[in-house]
């Protein structure tokens, strides 16, 4: 398994990414009222980042007859089922797993994604990014068979749902039913809350572990290395999807041939933009162009061995102004004043 591919003198061919996870409907609730209903699911946030960054991807997702969004990557429609729905409560305080942002309830669940739903072709990169328990151990097994490298969001593996009200709870990764496959994955991404449900010391021997920590950025653990990757300043409106966009940015960086810490910095970049929006962020074209240029420049430096993996200040400084090419719509700007998220 190559975590940190050797520098190449040529641009990599257009690498193919497989994203597996259900789209969902997100209902954001504050003070007993619905403040927004948006397209959700890690797969939607991630494909938004990959499509915007011109990284070619295929997406396998299931929705019900009531799915109400137009999406670039068509889902499988299960006519007799409803789409997965999550309600996010922003005023119920800290939930049972210590999640300070919001309390999540899965109030409807579409079908799981089976190995037979996944194409039988080969992919350079696989992303197992379920939100409502739709990824089964056999689904992940098929992914590690057909993809050179697989990145997994731990939320796809350790979530369980209260049978009465659908509240999301977490189980230890060792008891998740997926543990026997994890030595075959390349990357495991967890938020700092979710990281309590795994043994980082153990997992970092098996794969590259990335723990995101909101406004503080993220940390990468692999074998004996630990790297802190700095955040970008953002005005948080809604934290939903930050971790997903982070993972999208990380994978864009990796398929473009960046070193892992640089790819994670790109993850922080897309995560920080996402928290400034309700629902899917629409990335500014000028911003995306600048990011592409900076990624190519950084890659060139790496090829010429000018940069060291841990020296990220320059890359961070060059990406920072690109963020300000983003123009918020008046609605978003208005929402910035009130913000949905609880104080951290």
- Contact mark string toward ligand INS, 69..108, x via CB under 6 A: -----------------x-----------------x----
DSSP assignment letter at 113? B
Among 30, 38, 268, 307, binds ligand ATP (CB under 6 A): 268
Q: Which is nearer to ligand INS, 268 or 312 (CB)?
A: 268
Q: Any catalytic annotation for residue 244? A: yes
Q: Which does 131 bind (CB under 5 to 8 A by kind): ligand INS, ligand ATP, none?
A: ligand INS
* Bridge partner residues of 58 (DSSP): 18
Per DSSP, helices labelled H in 80-181 are 137-146, 155-158
The one catalytic residue among 244, 262, 311, 328: 244
Per DSSP, helices labelled H in the chain are 42-52, 137-146, 155-158, 200-206, 242-255, 260-274, 285-303, 313-323, 330-338
Q: Is 218 helix (H, G, I), strand (E, B) or coil?
A: strand
Measured between alpha carbons, how far is 344 from 215 in angstroms, rounded to an integer?
A: 9
Does 312 help bind ligand ATP (rule: CB under 6 A)?
no
Does 244 help bind ligand INS (rule: CB under 6 A)?
yes
Q: Is 6 helix (H, G, I), strand (E, B) or coil?
A: coil
Does 242 help bind ligand ATP (rule: CB under 6 A)?
yes
User: Residue 245: how many CB atoms within 10 A of its CB?
Assistant: 27
Q: Which is nearer to ligand ATP, 181 or 275 (CB)?
A: 275
Q: Which does 24 bind (CB under 5 to 8 A by kind): ligand ATP, ligand INS, none?
A: ligand INS
- Closest by alpha carbon to 137, among 179, 174, 170? 179
Measured between alpha carbons, how far is 122 from 225 in angstroms, rounded to an integer?
A: 31
Does 214 help bind ligand ATP (rule: CB under 6 A)?
yes
Does 280 help bind ligand ATP (rule: CB under 6 A)?
no
Q: Which does 40 bind (CB under 5 to 8 A by kind): ligand INS, ligand ATP, none?
A: ligand INS
DSSP assignment letter at 72? S
Q: Which does 212 bind (CB under 5 to 8 A by kind): ligand ATP, ligand INS, none?
A: ligand ATP
Q: Which does 86 bind (CB under 5 to 8 A by kind): ligand INS, ligand ATP, none?
A: ligand INS
The residue with tokens 């659908």 is: 166
- Phi then psi for 53, rounded to 5 degrees? -95, 10
- Contact mark string toward ligand INS, 189..228, x via CB under 6 A: ----------------------------------------
Segment interacting with ligand INS, rule: CB under 6 A, options 1-9, 116-124, 177-185, 236-244 = 236-244
Does 158 help bind ligand INS (rule: CB under 6 A)?
no
Residues 6+ apart with CB under 8 A from 161: 106, 109, 132, 133, 167, 168, 169
Nearest distance from C-beta of residue 207 to ligand ATP, angstroms: 18
Measured between alpha carbons, how far is 151 from 153 in angstroms, rounded to an integer?
A: 7
Rounded to 5°, the CA angle 136-137-139 comes to 65
Q: Which does 52 bind (CB under 5 to 8 A by kind): ligand ATP, ligand INS, none?
A: none
* Bridge partner residues of 221 (DSSP): 209, 226
* Bridge partner residues of 168 (DSSP): 161
Nearest distance from C-beta of residue 242 to ligand ATP, angstroms: 4
User: Which spans of this chain sit near ligand INS (rule: CB under 6 A)?
Assistant: 24, 26, 40-42, 45, 86, 104, 131, 155, 240-241, 243-244
State the residues that interact with ligand ATP by CB under 6 A: 191, 212-215, 217-218, 231-232, 234, 236, 239-244, 246, 268, 271-272, 275
Q: Which residues are catalytic?
A: 244
């Amino acid at each position: 398994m190559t975590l940190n591919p050797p520098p190449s003198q040529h641009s990599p061919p257009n690498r193919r990414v497989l994203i597996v996870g259900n789209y969902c409907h997100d209902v954001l609730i504050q003070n007993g009222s619905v403040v927004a209903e948006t397209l959700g699911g890690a797969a939607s946030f991630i494909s938004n980042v990959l499509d915007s960054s011109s990284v070619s991807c295929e997406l396998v997702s299931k929705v019900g007859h009531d799915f109400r969004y137009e999406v670039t990557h068509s889902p499988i429609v299960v006519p007799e089922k409803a789409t997965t729905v999550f309600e996010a409560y922003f005023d119920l305080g800290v939930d049972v797993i210590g999640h300070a942002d919001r309390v999540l309830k899965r109030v409807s669940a579409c079908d799981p994604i089976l190995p037979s739903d996944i194409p039988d072709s080969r992919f350079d990169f696989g992303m197992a990014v379920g939100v409502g328990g739709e990824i089964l151990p056999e689904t992940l097994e098929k992914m590690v068979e057909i993809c050179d490298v697989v990145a997994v969001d731990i939320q796809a593996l350790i979530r369980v749902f209260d049978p009465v009200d659908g509240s999301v709870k977490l189980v230890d990764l060792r008891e998740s039913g997926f543990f026997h496959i994890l030595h075959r994955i390349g990357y495991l991404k967890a938020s700092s809350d979710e990281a309590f449900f795994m043994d980082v010391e153990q997992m970092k021997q098996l794969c590259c572990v990335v723990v995101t920590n909101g406004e503080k950025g993220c940390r990468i653990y692999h074998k004996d290395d630990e790297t802190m990757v700095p955040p970008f300043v953002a005005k948080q409106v809604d934290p939903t999807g930050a971790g997903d966009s982070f993972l999208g940015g990380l994978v864009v960086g990796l398929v473009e041939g960046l070193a892992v810490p640089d790819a994670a910095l790109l993850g922080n970049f897309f995560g920080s933009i996402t928290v400034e929006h309700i629902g899917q962020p629409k990335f500014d074209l000028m911003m995306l162009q600048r990011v592409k240029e900076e990624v190519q420049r950084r890659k060139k430096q790496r090829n010429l061995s000018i940069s060291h993996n841990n020296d990220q200040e320059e890359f961070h400084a060059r990406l920072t102004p690109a963020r300000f090419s983003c123009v918020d719509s008046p609605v978003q700007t208005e929402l910035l004043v009130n913000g949905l998220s609880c104080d951290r």
